[in-house]
Every structure is written in C-alpha cells, then in structure tokens.
Amino acid sequence: MGEFVIGKPALRLNYRVSLPLDLVSAMSLLYRAVPGSGLDPWLIATRRSLPPDLRANLDLLHGFSGRLLYYMEEPVMRFEPLRDDRQDADFADLIGFLEALPPSAYREMAIHALGRVHRDLGSDVAGPPIDADEVAWRRFLEPGLTTAAGDEALALVREPELLRERTLRLIRGIWEHAYREEYEERRGALEEAARLAQATEGRGFGMAFADLTGNRLPATLVSGLNEVACVTFCPSYHLGSFVSYILYPPDLVVFFDAPRLVSQAATAGWISTESVPGSLADGSARLSANPEERADPLLGESLLEGLRALADPNRLRILDLLGEGQLYAQEIVGRLGIAQSAVSRHLSQLERAGLITVQPKGGMKYYAVDGRRIAEIAAAIRAHGPTPPS
C-alpha cells in the first residue's frame, strides 16, 4: 500500500504582468549584460549607456549576495507585489513603500539575503555575528561576494543608512535612466503574453514551465519546490532563452520570454502581432535600425571590461590553466591554492568580460577560455597603437 504521508495541495499557477517584478528582473539582466553574455543586444547597449556611478552601484548591490543575486530581490518581495491589491502597482507605489522603510529594514534584508546564500551552500554559519567583530562579519559576507569587494560589502551591512540610500538610488536610477520608456512601450506585448500563457494552467507546473521557458526545470529550483505554494509566471521582454526565477517561499516567480510566446501564437494564426502594442515586430525593427545594438563591437566600455578582467595576476593564472583545457571550479582552487570564494569572484569577472565560457556538465560547471574574445581584445589593442613598420 505504500507509506502514508501528509499530502500537499497542488501548486497554484498565476499569470501576471507586474511592474515591480519586471523591474527587478530587468536590473538583474542589466547586471549580467556584458560582452560575451549572449544576452539581448538592447540590454548590452543599455548597460553601456548607464552613467558610470549608476553602473558601479548596479554591480555592487548585485555583487555581494551570491550568484543568484538575492539582495535585490528582497526590497521588491518585501513590497509583496503578488498581493491582489498590488497587481496594478506602479513605480510610485513601489518607491513610496521603499522610501518609508527605515535603514534597519534594509540591513535585515541584506542579512536575510546572505542567510539564503549560506543555506544554499550548506554552510554551518548559523547567522550573522551578534557583535561588531569585523573578522566574523567578513567570514559571514565572503561566500556571497561575486563582483563586490569585501570592504564595500562590509560597509553596506554595517552602515544601513548607506545601504538604504544606495538601494533607493539604484532602483530610481534604473527606472529613470533606462527602463521607464522601455516598460511602457512593451507593456502591451507583456500583457498579451500573460494572457496567452494562461492556456498552460491545466498542464501542471512542470509542463507549464517547459512550455513557457523552453527549458527543463533546473535542479536548484526542483530542490526548493517543497516550500512553494504558488507559482506566478511573469512575461519578460528581454530574457530570451535564459531561465530566470525568484524562489521566495511560499512564492515562486518564473520569468518567461514574452516575444517568443507572442511569435508562436502569431505563427499559429491565433493572433496578429500588428494588433499587439510593443510586440516583436516593431521591437525587431527598432533593434536592427541601431548598429550599436545590432552588433557587439569590442569598443569603449566593452574593451575596458576585458582589460579590467585581465589586470590581475590570479585571473591571468586562471586563463593559463584553462588554456590547457576545461576545468571545474574546485580543480582551479586546488591548483591555484587560493580561497574558493576568491576563485569564484575571479571566474565571475572573467565570465562577465566574455573571456571564459561556462558549460554545465554532470551537475558541475566547467570553464574554458573563449579564444575568440581574447583575439578580439588583442586586435582592439593593436588598433589603438601605431601601425607596425612593414
């Protein structure tokens, strides 16, 4: 007869366009949108156009809470965007709520995000230090550091007023400088994609996930499903074929590629893209009209990103190691003899600069040198110098 266990209700599926959730997704995509990332050219061009201080703030606040970027999820999920009365929340609603939170709330959110990192890693760290011991705080922070320096991250958690100010400045800055017009232009396509996605409701979560994202459930997501009661599918305009989600029990938010679904529906004759404001048709024309977005030349910020990644002896040693063939992170740690967290930060910077590629294999991530990108950097450097004598 089998074992009797306490059952759990089937997952509830929702489909929703949410400005707060779309904004946090856009920020994470802009953070990752560096040369070699394979992300939408609009994202790469937009990141490149951000003021330097805003781009630095983007990298800092996404770079101290693990590869899943937990911290920037916290303010938006604290807002509770999935509540019925906040389904139509606009930016003023979100920023007004966040401005009303005291600095201590931002510190709590940072500590909660870092606690999630430790749980993912199976760390034996029970929680944040109970006193002001700097060594203990650095130990608590270290596993979450990716693109943020330890001193900067330490200042954030020990100075909550600074953390609050920088968080609000980032959210306002991305909205005002980069995303307000884009969101308003694409909202019609997002709403149409959310409507079309509702057809998957009767297929169950696993099939709905595969249908809408074109991917299988990642292992990191499967392991957390026992804590989830409700799944909300949110359309994203610039996600492409990548998988993105927010696992924040009891809620799971899954982002899916809106243009792909609208295009499939148009191909099947269910809708006409001409009737969908901000749909794939005019989006493609807008991108192809701008050569800066259509291509990803190794110029300006793109070249500097690569040079910054190369300007470190340990990262050069990693490239030397990978020049001999693919390696996974623990092999690199063993050969270099430096801390795993430091190796993770170096690999993250090399990956963001497009100098290495990552290939999941057998539950591990294998890293390899991207020879094409290195050749492009070499050619760009030569182009900036005098012509050699013949």
pTM of the predicted model, to two decimals? Answer: 0.77
What does the pLDDT read at residue 285? Answer: 34
364, 369, 370, 360: which is closest to 329 by C-alpha? 364
Supply the mean pLDDT for the chain: 86
Looking at the predicted structure, is the pLDDT value of residue 297 above 60?
Answer: no
R_g (Cα) of the chain, nearest Å: 22
Average pLDDT over residues 59-81: 95
Give the three-class secondary structure for 137. Answer: helix
Residue 296 has pLDDT above 70, yes or no: no
The answer to which of 65-74, 79-88, 172-181, 377-386 has the lowest mean pLDDT is 377-386
Q: Which range, 30-34, 246-250, 360-364, is most confident?
A: 246-250
Residue with more model confidence, 383 or 219? 219
DSSP single-letter state for residue 361: E
Position 244 scores a pLDDT of 94
Domain boundaries, the chain: 12-288, 301-383
What is the SS3 assignment for 205? helix
Task: Please give the average per-residue pLDDT across 364-375, as a whole number.
Answer: 84
Parallel, antiparallel, or unpaired: how do β-strands 356-361 and 327-328 relate? Answer: unpaired
Q: What is the mean pLDDT of residues 363-371?
A: 83
pLDDT at 282: 44
Confidence label for 295 from pLDDT (cuts 50, 70 and 90) = very low
pLDDT at 128: 86
Q: Please compute the mean of the pLDDT values over residues 13-21 and round it to a whole number.
A: 97
Q: What is the pLDDT of residues 114-146, one digit of tens each?
A: 999 999 888 888 778 877 788 889 989 999 998
Tell me, what's the pLDDT at 292?
Answer: 39
Question: Rounded to an integer, what distance in angstroms lies between the CA atom of residue 69 and that of residue 246?
Answer: 10
Question: Percent of the chain, pLDDT > 90?
Answer: 49
Specify the DSSP element, H or E, that contains 283.
helix 280-288
181-206: average pLDDT: 94
In this predicted model, which residue has the larger pLDDT, 342 or 279? 342
Mean pLDDT confidence for 238-248: 93
Give me the amino acid identity at 372: R
What pLDDT is stored for residue 348 in this prediction? 85
Q: Please state which CATH class domain 301-383 belongs to.
A: mainly alpha
- Quick one: pLDDT at residue 82? 96
pLDDT at 284: 39
- Greater confidence (163 vs 387) lies with 163
Which tokens in the block code for residue 92? Answer: 């003023």
Other C-beta atoms closer than 10 Å to the C-beta of 160 total 18
- Residues 337-358 have a mean pLDDT of 85
Distance CA 105, CA 142 (A): 22
The answer on pLDDT for 361 being more than 90 is: no
Percentages (nearest 5) of helix, strand, coil residues in the chain: 60, 10, 30
- For residues 143 and 121, is the Cβ–Cβ distance under 8 A? yes
Q: Averaged over 191-202, what is the pLDDT?
A: 94
